[in-house]
Amino acid sequence: MKLAWSGRFEGYSLEHVKKDLLSGLIVGIIAIPLGMAFAMASGVKPEYGIYTTITAGILISLFGGSKYQIGGPTGAFIPILFAVVMQYGYENLLIAGFMAGGLLVLMGMFKLGALVKYMPRPVTIGFTSGIAVIIFTGQIANFLGLDDVKKHEYFLDNMVELVTHLGTFNIYSFLTGLICLGILLATPRWFPKIPGPLMGLVISTIVATVFFSDKVETIGTVFGGIPQGLPELRLPELTWDKIQMLFIPAFVIAMLGGIESLLSAVVADGMSGSRHNSNKELIGQGIANMVTPLFGGIPATGAIARTATNIKNGAVSPMSGVIHGVVVLLVLLFLAPYASHIPIASMAPILMVVAWNMSERKEFFHVAMTRTSDSFVLILTFLLTVFTNLTIAVEVGLVLAVLLFVKRMSDILTVAKVLPDPADKIVKAHMVREGHDCPQISIYNIEGPLFFGAAQHFEKTIMNTIKFKPKVLLLRMGKVPYMDTTGELNLASIVKHFQKSGGIVLISKLAEQPEEMLKKTGLYEKIREDHFFDHTGDAINYALAHLNRLQCLGCKHFAFHECQHLSVADPHYEAGLPKSDNITV
């Protein structure tokens, strides 16, 4: 498979290498504490987050579709990964991650990158805000140093566990967490060039080690430290039963990973002025997620904050992402033993700050305050994410968003009976009234998409208002931008009804897509090619020429200006009627 780096290294120079080295080094340093923290919050050992940062970080940069994307474990994955670990175990999490990678590759190969970006915004804000709440509350116990707190899959169970163990509060853990939190909050303002998470970890670890080394839990006391060296390669034990069992979790991981990575790529485009390749990005993410589990790593995706940091520090190519992975690898090989001294309480504020930053609180309240169907989808998705799980939240949120979208689109479709207005030579609905409505020609304005959500309304409206069976039915469809097969079937039903009773169906100003649909289904030929008109005036002239002249005699409706002539003319008169000039559209 080609790396397809065309354009991404064009004009690459030694100066660019220096910039990529600097940005890669800074992002790599930032990624180390985040990788460990995300892994621990996901219910697995901290070293698995390091393995993910190395493997996925390098592969996403090599094969992805964005020049500046930094890949690795992210906070968005924490609830779904923790749920998979709780329900199926760590080994099956690796299989689910491998399957998710395969799904991402297929999505990219079938060019579904653009479709993933169409996830409704209320759904993404809802589950992102819900994830933030879960991450933040999940770290309270570590921040307070509570003992014997068991982690559960559901939010309410965890809150009960938290309240039950408040009596085990550890002042030393709390002070350690406060020190780290203070540094995290102060660093961006006073020392913007220094990575806050790393500085917070180092200083809080030194303070805890010097002043109360035996009073707080550390990575070493909880996990036994981080192994020094490379992980062993191990192939997943894929069976059909496991594929069936893990398909839904894998699908959710793939969708969430695809959405997060493409959102990150869009942010990178906005900051750098570049343009990513959505489908190539999905393939790169997929490759990374298929390889990472082979080394014990958890699912990864594009990390928005680290990608933004990469750009801010001068990255010019994907090499910065590769360098960031190599930096983490070197730290693993030479500094891993020192990580065992890091207090668990020092990791908690890092995740709390991540949760706060990813909560999208401004967008959440903005959409919620609109009090529309979107706010309902947002709040429901948020509540389901917090109180059930991300899988249910995304499924319900998407289905509800689609249903509400279909409802809104169906409401857009309008079907109105119209007649010419002599004042401005345009057909209008207000011209149709009692005593002024042609018994033989019915004209309808159709506006809006004619699809499954609105097709029945379209057919019912017309059929209910033409029970007197006019001779000619003229449908003005210039403002029908789209027609699906359901819309075509309902139109075919109307055509069949009219033709069976000897009526004529005319269509004017048909748009390109609906015309292609009618030609594909054969309905275009059934209506007859000469019954399609570019202008409504021409269609009315055709209709007037095919009226039952006897029925016109004595008619006082005068719907058209020709009616006065037709109501008194000799029905056997064979001369041509005057052309209608009262319609301009």
The label of the residue with tokens 């979790």 reads 249
Distances (CA, A) of 417 to 409, 446, 545, 561: 20, 9, 21, 18
Residue of 15, 3, 82 lying closest to 351 (CA atoms): 82
How many whole angstroms separate alpha carbon 327 and alpha carbon 71?
14
SS3 477: strand
Tokens read off for 160? 């009960």
What is the widest separation between alpha-carbon atoms in the chain?
Answer: 114
> Hey, what are 478's tokens?
């210039």
Q: Do 318 and 284 form a contact (C-beta atoms < 8 A)?
A: no
Q: Which two tokens stand for residue 569?
A: 């003319």
| Bridge pairing between strands 472-479 and 441-447 | parallel
- Of the candidates 470, 550, 481, the one whose C-alpha atom is nearest the C-alpha of residue 503 is 470
Three-state DSSP state, 558:
coil
User: What gap in Å lies between CA 47 and CA 493, rounded to an integer?
Assistant: 65
Length of the chain: 585
Question: How far is it, in rounded angstroms, from Cα 291 to Cα 297?
Answer: 9
Predicted pLDDT of residue 270: 84
Distance (Å) of CA 273 to CA 9, 129, 283, 299 = 16, 28, 22, 29
CA-to-CA distance for 25 and 198, rounded, in angstroms?
Answer: 13
Query: How do strand 504-508 and strand 532-533 relate by DSSP bridges?
Result: parallel
Q: How many CA atoms lie within 13 A of 520 on its CB side?
A: 11
The top-level CATH class assigned to 413-566 is alpha beta
Residue ranges of alpha helices (H) inside 359-433 are 361-368, 373-387, 390-412
| Dist CA 312 CA 349 (whole Å) | 24
Contact 415, 444 (CB under 8 A): yes
Grouped pLDDT means (10 residues each) for the chain, 585 residues: 52 80 90 92 93 96 93 91 93 96 95 77 88 92 92 90 94 96 92 85 93 89 84 87 94 90 86 89 96 96 90 90 94 88 93 89 92 91 90 84 84 89 78 83 92 88 77 93 94 90 91 95 94 92 86 80 72 48 50
517 phi and psi angles, rounded to 5 deg: -60, -45
Contact indicator for 41, 78 with CB cutoff of 8 Å: yes
Q: Which amino acid is at 577?
A: L
Q: How far apart are the first and last CA of the chain?
A: 55
Do 318 and 307 contact (CB within 8 A), yes or no? no
Beta bridge partners of 428: 419
Tokens of 470: 């006019």
Distance, CA of 13 to CA of 523 (rounded, Å): 62
- From CA 503, how far away is CA 491, in angstroms rounded? 14
Q: Quick check: 310 and 23 in contact, CB under 8 A?
A: yes
What's the rounded Cα separation, in Å, for the pair 321 and 303? 11
Full DSSP string of 99-117: HHHHHHHHHHHTT-HHHHT
Quick one: pLDDT at residue 506?
95
Q: Any idea where the domains of the chain sit in the sequence?
A: 19-401, 413-566
The type of residue at 533 is: F
Q: Quick one: angle between helices 319-335 and 46-63, nearest 10?
A: 160
User: Tokens 């931008």 correspond to what residue?
Assistant: 481
| Pair 207, 179: CB distance under 8 Å | yes
145 is written with which tokens?
A: 């140093």
| Residue spans of alpha helices (H) in 416-571 | 455-465, 485-500, 512-521, 523-527, 536-545, 549-552, 563-566
Q: For position 476, what pLDDT does the model report? A: 94
What per-residue string of b and e applies to 325-344 under the rule 16 or more CB within 10 Å gives b? bbbbbebbeeebeebbbbbb
What percentage of the chain's residues is helix, strand, coil (to nearest 5)? 65, 5, 30
Token digits of residue 584:
């301009």
Which one, of 446, 530, 428, lies nearest residue 483 by Cα?
Answer: 446
Buried b (16+ CB within 10 A) or exposed e, 473-499: bbbbbbebeebbebbbebbbebbebbe
Dist. CA 10–CA 274, nearest whole Å: 13
